[in-house]
Amino acid sequence: MFGRFLSDHGMLSRPQERLHVRILAIAIAIVLVVLLAVQGSQFLSVTNFQSMAFQSAELGLLTLAMTLAILLAGIDLSILAIANLSAIAVASYLKSVDAAAFGLLDFGIAAMIAIVVGVVCGAINGLLIGFFSVPAILATLATMTLYGGFAIGFTGGSAISAMPEGFAVLGNGTLLGVPVPLLIFLLFGFVLWLILEKTIFGTEMYCVGSNPKASLYSGIDIRWVYFKTHTLIGVIAAIAGLVILSRTNSANPDYGSSYILSTILIVALGGISVLGGKGKISGVILAIALLQLFSTGLNMMLYKTSGSNFLKDVIWGLLLLFVISVMHFFQRQGRK
C-alpha cells in the first residue's frame, strides 16, 4: 500500500529535479574552489579543511533537524533556541562539577541533560503541530520565543563559560585524525538515513509530507508521525547544542543567529522539496559540505571588506532565492 501511495504521488519518480540541483551545487563548489585556488589563498590546505570539518558539524546537525521538519511540509524555527537552551542547561550542570575530577560519568550526565531538554522541547512542538493542528511555522515561532525566553531568563542574557577542560574533546577533539564533531554528525546522518530509507516510520514521514489527507485515509495516524518527528528533531537540535557548548567553551542564548537561514538554504540545495514529501538525506549531507566550502570561501574573500557581514547576509539571501527558484522550475518541468 505504501509503495502504491508513493508512486501515485510522484515520490518514486522524477529524480531529475534533484539531480539538476545537485549538479548545480557541485558546479558552484567547483567554481568557488578554482577561484580561491587561483587567488593563492590557504583555502585548499589540510588545516583549513580540518577547520571546516569542526565548524560544519553543529550546522550540519541543525540542518538534519530542519530536514525532517521540511520533509513533513513544515518548518521548525525553534531548533536553534532548543540547541542554545540545551547548551545552557548542560553548562549549568558542568559549572557545578569539579573540573579536576571530570570524567565519563559527567559526560554521560551532560548528554542525558541535553537529550531530556531536546525531548521535552521537541515533544511540545509535536503536541502543538500533531494534536492541536497548529501550523508548524506558527507553533515553532511561538516555542522559539518561549525557549529563547527561558534561556535569557536563566542566564540573565549573558554567556556561561569556562567549562571543564575534559569536556572540550567533544567539540574540539579528533579520533584517528578525524574531528569528533564530524563523526557525531555523520553518525546522526547515517541513523536518519536508516530511519527514512529502511523503516515504516520513515515511509510514513514521506507519505505525511506528501499528502496528509491521503496518509490519514491510508491508515496512518498522522498526529503521532508529527509528534515523533518533532521529538526527534528536538533531540538532534539538543545534541547540536552540546557540540556548540564543547567547541566554543560557552553557552550563549543568542548564539548562531544566522543558522536558521543557513539550514533552510542547505535543505533546499540538498534537493528536499520545500513542499514536503520528497528528498534524500544524502543530498542534504552533500549540500552541507558544499555550503561550508562556500561559507569559508566567502569569509576569505570578504575578510578585509567593510560591511562584510551585510554582504554575506545579502549573498546568502540571494543564493536561497536562486536555489528555490531553480528547484521550483525543475518541479514544474517534471509535471509537464
For position 333, what pLDDT does the model report?
A: 64
- Above pLDDT 90, what percent of the chain? 49
Q: Which residues of the chain have pLDDT under 50?
A: 1-13
Write the secondary structure of the chain as one string of H (helix), E (strand) and C (coil): CHHHHHHHCCCCCCCHHHHHHHHHHHHHHHHHHHHHHHCCCCCCCHHHHHHHHHHHHHHHHHHHHHHHHHHCCCCCCCHHHHHHHHHHHHHHHHHCCCHHHCCHHHHHHHHHHHHHHHHHHHHHHHHHHHHCCCCHHHHHHHHHHHHHHHHHHHHCCCCEECCCHHHHHHHHCEECCEEHHHHHHHHHHHHHHHHHHHCHHHHHHHHHHHCHHHHHHCCCCHHHHHHHHHHHHHHHHHHHHHHHHHHHCEECCCCCCCHHHHHHHHHHHCCCCCCCCCCCHHHHHHHHHHHHHHHHHHHHHCCCCCCHHHHHHHHHHHHHHHHHHHHHHHHHHHHC
Full-model pTM? 0.86
Q: 263-296: per-residue pLDDT in tens? A: 998 898 888 888 888 888 988 998 888 888 777 7
